[in-house]
Amino acid sequence: MPEIILQNHSYQYQITKKFVSRLTLRFVKNKILVTAPFLVPTSYILSFIKDHQSWILSHQTKFDFKKITILDKDYQLVIKKSARDSLVIFEDEQKIYLNSVSTSPASYLKIIDQKLRVHALKLINFYLKDLAQTYHFKYQRVSIRNQSTRFGSCSSVGNLSFNWQIVLLPFPLFRHVLLHELTHTIHHNHSAKFWVQLSLADPDYRTHNQLLKKHAPQYFISS
Ligand SMILES: [Zn+2]
Protein backbone atom coordinates (compact mmCIF):
# COMPACT_ATOMS: atom_id res chain seq x y z
CA MET A 1 0.00 0.00 0.00
CA PRO A 2 1.43 3.46 -0.87
CA GLU A 3 2.33 5.88 1.92
CA ILE A 4 2.11 9.62 2.48
CA ILE A 5 4.03 11.70 5.06
CA LEU A 6 1.92 13.77 7.46
CA GLN A 7 3.74 15.59 10.27
CA ASN A 8 6.88 13.38 10.09
CA HIS A 9 4.97 10.08 10.10
CA SER A 10 4.04 8.04 7.09
CA TYR A 11 0.50 6.80 6.69
CA GLN A 12 -0.72 4.12 4.34
CA TYR A 13 -3.42 5.22 1.94
CA GLN A 14 -5.69 3.50 -0.53
CA ILE A 15 -7.51 5.17 -3.40
CA THR A 16 -10.70 3.59 -4.74
CA LYS A 17 -12.09 5.03 -7.96
CA LYS A 18 -15.85 4.89 -8.33
CA PHE A 19 -18.78 6.50 -10.09
CA VAL A 20 -19.07 9.20 -7.43
CA SER A 21 -19.31 12.97 -7.78
CA ARG A 22 -16.86 14.01 -5.08
CA LEU A 23 -13.88 12.87 -2.98
CA THR A 24 -14.52 11.25 0.39
CA LEU A 25 -12.02 10.45 3.09
CA ARG A 26 -12.14 7.80 5.79
CA PHE A 27 -9.54 6.89 8.41
CA VAL A 28 -9.80 3.24 9.45
CA LYS A 29 -7.24 1.44 11.64
CA ASN A 30 -4.70 4.18 10.91
CA LYS A 31 -5.09 3.82 7.16
CA ILE A 32 -6.37 6.61 4.94
CA LEU A 33 -9.09 5.41 2.59
CA VAL A 34 -10.08 7.73 -0.24
CA THR A 35 -12.97 7.28 -2.63
CA ALA A 36 -12.56 9.40 -5.76
CA PRO A 37 -14.33 9.97 -9.08
CA PHE A 38 -12.55 8.26 -12.00
CA LEU A 39 -11.06 11.36 -13.61
CA VAL A 40 -9.49 12.97 -10.53
CA PRO A 41 -5.66 12.78 -10.82
CA THR A 42 -3.60 11.24 -7.99
CA SER A 43 -1.70 14.51 -7.41
CA TYR A 44 -5.01 16.23 -6.64
CA ILE A 45 -6.02 13.39 -4.26
CA LEU A 46 -2.70 13.65 -2.39
CA SER A 47 -3.10 17.40 -1.89
CA PHE A 48 -6.67 16.74 -0.73
CA ILE A 49 -5.29 14.33 1.91
CA LYS A 50 -2.72 16.95 3.03
CA ASP A 51 -5.45 19.59 3.27
CA HIS A 52 -7.32 17.31 5.67
CA GLN A 53 -4.33 16.14 7.71
CA SER A 54 -5.41 17.74 10.97
CA TRP A 55 -8.71 15.84 10.72
CA ILE A 56 -6.82 12.61 9.97
CA LEU A 57 -4.33 13.04 12.81
CA SER A 58 -7.11 13.76 15.29
CA HIS A 59 -8.63 10.38 14.42
CA GLN A 60 -5.50 8.28 14.82
CA THR A 61 -5.12 5.70 17.54
CA LYS A 62 -4.60 6.82 21.13
CA PHE A 63 -1.74 4.33 21.44
CA ASP A 64 1.43 6.39 21.93
CA PHE A 65 4.04 3.85 20.70
CA LYS A 66 6.31 4.58 23.68
CA LYS A 67 5.28 1.96 26.22
CA ILE A 68 3.44 -1.37 26.41
CA THR A 69 2.22 -2.73 29.73
CA ILE A 70 1.91 -6.53 29.86
CA LEU A 71 0.39 -7.98 33.05
CA ASP A 72 1.31 -4.87 35.05
CA LYS A 73 4.92 -4.84 33.80
CA ASP A 74 5.94 -1.75 31.79
CA TYR A 75 8.09 -2.24 28.70
CA GLN A 76 9.70 0.63 26.84
CA LEU A 77 8.89 0.34 23.13
CA VAL A 78 11.92 0.98 20.91
CA ILE A 79 10.97 1.38 17.23
CA LYS A 80 13.55 1.09 14.46
CA LYS A 81 13.35 1.04 10.68
CA SER A 82 14.57 -2.29 9.38
CA ALA A 83 14.80 -4.54 6.32
CA ARG A 84 12.20 -6.88 7.81
CA ASP A 85 9.46 -6.80 10.42
CA SER A 86 10.21 -8.27 13.83
CA LEU A 87 9.45 -7.84 17.51
CA VAL A 88 11.80 -8.89 20.31
CA ILE A 89 11.00 -8.76 24.03
CA PHE A 90 13.81 -8.29 26.56
CA GLU A 91 12.36 -9.24 29.95
CA ASP A 92 15.28 -8.05 32.11
CA GLU A 93 15.74 -4.73 30.32
CA GLN A 94 11.94 -4.29 30.16
CA LYS A 95 12.22 -3.27 26.54
CA ILE A 96 10.37 -4.33 23.40
CA TYR A 97 12.22 -3.74 20.14
CA LEU A 98 9.93 -3.24 17.18
CA ASN A 99 11.73 -3.42 13.84
CA SER A 100 9.59 -2.32 10.92
CA VAL A 101 9.98 -2.01 7.17
CA SER A 102 7.41 0.78 7.07
CA THR A 103 7.31 3.80 9.39
CA SER A 104 3.52 3.99 9.43
CA PRO A 105 1.62 3.59 12.73
CA ALA A 106 -0.68 1.12 10.93
CA SER A 107 2.25 -1.20 10.22
CA TYR A 108 3.55 -0.87 13.82
CA LEU A 109 0.12 -1.95 15.05
CA LYS A 110 0.08 -4.86 12.60
CA ILE A 111 3.49 -6.10 13.81
CA ILE A 112 2.46 -5.75 17.47
CA ASP A 113 -0.79 -7.59 16.75
CA GLN A 114 0.96 -10.44 14.91
CA LYS A 115 4.02 -10.93 17.11
CA LEU A 116 2.73 -10.06 20.57
CA ARG A 117 -0.12 -12.56 20.31
CA VAL A 118 2.43 -15.39 20.29
CA HIS A 119 3.83 -14.10 23.58
CA ALA A 120 0.30 -13.56 24.91
CA LEU A 121 -0.62 -17.20 24.21
CA LYS A 122 2.34 -18.38 26.32
CA LEU A 123 1.28 -16.17 29.22
CA ILE A 124 -2.38 -17.22 28.93
CA ASN A 125 -1.40 -20.93 28.86
CA PHE A 126 0.83 -20.51 31.90
CA TYR A 127 -1.82 -18.83 34.06
CA LEU A 128 -4.67 -21.04 32.80
CA LYS A 129 -2.78 -24.18 33.81
CA ASP A 130 -2.07 -22.72 37.24
CA LEU A 131 -5.68 -21.62 37.85
CA ALA A 132 -7.12 -24.90 36.53
CA GLN A 133 -4.91 -26.86 38.93
CA THR A 134 -5.76 -24.68 41.92
CA TYR A 135 -9.52 -24.59 41.33
CA HIS A 136 -9.98 -28.02 39.67
CA PHE A 137 -11.09 -27.07 36.16
CA LYS A 138 -10.50 -29.19 33.06
CA TYR A 139 -10.19 -27.63 29.62
CA GLN A 140 -9.17 -28.83 26.17
CA ARG A 141 -7.48 -26.66 23.55
CA VAL A 142 -6.59 -22.97 23.90
CA SER A 143 -6.54 -20.57 20.98
CA ILE A 144 -5.98 -16.86 20.49
CA ARG A 145 -8.15 -14.45 18.54
CA ASN A 146 -8.40 -10.73 18.17
CA GLN A 147 -12.10 -10.43 18.88
CA SER A 148 -12.55 -6.81 19.85
CA THR A 149 -16.04 -7.36 21.25
CA ARG A 150 -15.31 -10.41 23.37
CA PHE A 151 -12.57 -11.21 25.86
CA GLY A 152 -12.91 -14.95 25.65
CA SER A 153 -15.17 -17.87 24.88
CA CYS A 154 -15.63 -21.51 25.84
CA SER A 155 -17.02 -24.14 23.48
CA SER A 156 -19.39 -26.91 24.59
CA VAL A 157 -16.49 -29.39 24.64
CA GLY A 158 -14.24 -27.13 26.72
CA ASN A 159 -12.06 -25.48 24.08
CA LEU A 160 -11.10 -22.01 25.24
CA SER A 161 -10.41 -19.00 23.08
CA PHE A 162 -9.14 -15.58 24.15
CA ASN A 163 -8.55 -12.13 22.75
CA TRP A 164 -4.74 -11.88 23.03
CA GLN A 165 -5.02 -8.28 24.27
CA ILE A 166 -6.30 -9.43 27.68
CA VAL A 167 -2.59 -9.61 28.68
CA LEU A 168 -2.63 -5.79 28.49
CA LEU A 169 -5.22 -5.63 31.29
CA PRO A 170 -4.29 -5.17 34.95
CA PHE A 171 -3.59 -8.62 36.44
CA PRO A 172 -6.83 -8.99 38.51
CA LEU A 173 -8.93 -8.34 35.37
CA PHE A 174 -6.81 -10.73 33.26
CA ARG A 175 -7.24 -13.40 35.95
CA HIS A 176 -10.99 -12.71 36.04
CA VAL A 177 -11.31 -13.32 32.26
CA LEU A 178 -9.44 -16.64 32.53
CA LEU A 179 -11.58 -17.76 35.48
CA HIS A 180 -14.81 -16.69 33.73
CA GLU A 181 -14.04 -19.00 30.78
CA LEU A 182 -12.75 -21.81 33.02
CA THR A 183 -16.04 -21.62 34.95
CA HIS A 184 -17.86 -22.13 31.63
CA THR A 185 -16.22 -25.57 31.37
CA ILE A 186 -18.62 -26.56 34.20
CA HIS A 187 -21.58 -24.20 33.67
CA HIS A 188 -22.15 -23.34 30.02
CA ASN A 189 -24.50 -20.42 30.70
CA HIS A 190 -24.60 -17.47 33.09
CA SER A 191 -26.92 -19.16 35.59
CA ALA A 192 -26.85 -18.47 39.33
CA LYS A 193 -24.71 -21.60 39.72
CA PHE A 194 -22.15 -20.14 37.30
CA TRP A 195 -21.66 -16.99 39.41
CA VAL A 196 -21.45 -18.97 42.65
CA GLN A 197 -18.76 -21.18 41.11
CA LEU A 198 -16.85 -18.15 39.79
CA SER A 199 -17.03 -16.40 43.17
CA LEU A 200 -15.14 -19.29 44.81
CA ALA A 201 -12.03 -18.39 42.81
CA ASP A 202 -12.76 -14.69 42.27
CA PRO A 203 -14.70 -13.24 45.24
CA ASP A 204 -14.51 -9.75 43.66
CA TYR A 205 -15.93 -10.98 40.36
CA ARG A 206 -18.71 -8.38 40.36
CA THR A 207 -16.29 -5.45 40.59
CA HIS A 208 -13.91 -7.06 38.11
CA ASN A 209 -16.73 -7.61 35.63
CA GLN A 210 -17.83 -3.97 35.89
CA LEU A 211 -14.28 -2.61 35.56
CA LEU A 212 -13.73 -4.83 32.53
CA LYS A 213 -16.86 -3.60 30.74
CA LYS A 214 -16.10 0.03 31.50
CA HIS A 215 -12.32 0.27 31.08
CA ALA A 216 -11.07 -2.56 28.85
CA PRO A 217 -10.89 -0.43 25.66
CA GLN A 218 -8.42 1.97 27.28
CA TYR A 219 -5.93 -0.87 27.79
CA PHE A 220 -6.34 -2.41 24.35
CA ILE A 221 -3.97 -1.32 21.60
CA SER A 222 -6.30 -1.64 18.64
CA SER A 223 -9.91 -2.47 18.22
ZN1 LIG B 1 -19.61 -16.00 29.90
- Asked whether residue 65 is assigned to any structural domain, the reply reads no
Q: Kindly tell me the burial class for residue 179, based on how many C-beta atoms sit within 10 Å of its own C-beta (0-12, 13-18, 19 or more).
A: buried
The count of structural domains within the chain is 2
Q: Are residues 24 and 120 in the same domain?
A: no
- Asked whether residue 86 is assigned to any structural domain, the reply reads no
Q: 122 CA to middle of ligand 1, Å?
A: 22
User: Rounded CA gap, 23 and 17, in Å?
Assistant: 9
Q: Are residues 112 and 209 in the same domain?
A: yes
Q: Are residues 215 and 110 in the same domain?
A: yes
Segments forming the whole domain that contains residue 181: 106-219
Q: 70 CA to middle of ligand 1, Å?
A: 24
Q: Are residues 118 and 23 in the same domain?
A: no
Q: 185 CA to middle of ligand 1, Å?
A: 10
Q: Are residues 119 and 47 in the same domain?
A: no
Q: Are residues 201 and 141 in the same domain?
A: yes
Q: Are residues 36 and 119 in the same domain?
A: no
Q: Are residues 42 and 118 in the same domain?
A: no
User: Domain with 147 in it: what CATH number?
Assistant: 3.30.2010.10
Q: What is the CA radius of gyration of the chain?
A: 21
Write down which residue in 20, 41, 58 finishes a domain: 58
Give the number of other CB atoms < 10 A from CB of residue 171.
12
Q: 175 CA to middle of ligand 1, Å?
A: 14
Q: 186 CA to middle of ligand 1, Å?
A: 11
Q: Are residues 22 and 114 in the same domain?
A: no
- Asked whether residue 151 is assigned to any structural domain, the reply reads yes
Q: 198 CA to middle of ligand 1, Å?
A: 10
Q: Are residues 46 and 117 in the same domain?
A: no
Closest CA to 154 of 133, 183, 127: 183
- Asked if residues 185 and 201 have their Cβ atoms less than 8 Å apart, the reply is no
**Residue-level pLDDT at 221:** 83
- Asked whether residue 141 is assigned to any structural domain, the reply reads yes
pLDDT in tens, the chain (223 residues): 899 988 877 889 999 999 999 999 998 877 899 999 999 999 999 999 999 988 888 777 667 788 999 999 999 999 999 999 999 999 999 999 999 999 888 889 889 999 999 999 999 999 999 999 999 999 999 999 876 668 999 999 999 999 999 999 999 999 999 999 999 999 999 999 999 999 999 999 999 999 998 888 788 886 4
Q: Kindly tell me the burial class for residue 174, based on how many C-beta atoms sit within 10 Å of its own C-beta (0-12, 13-18, 19 or more).
A: buried
Distance, CA of 149 to chain centre: 11
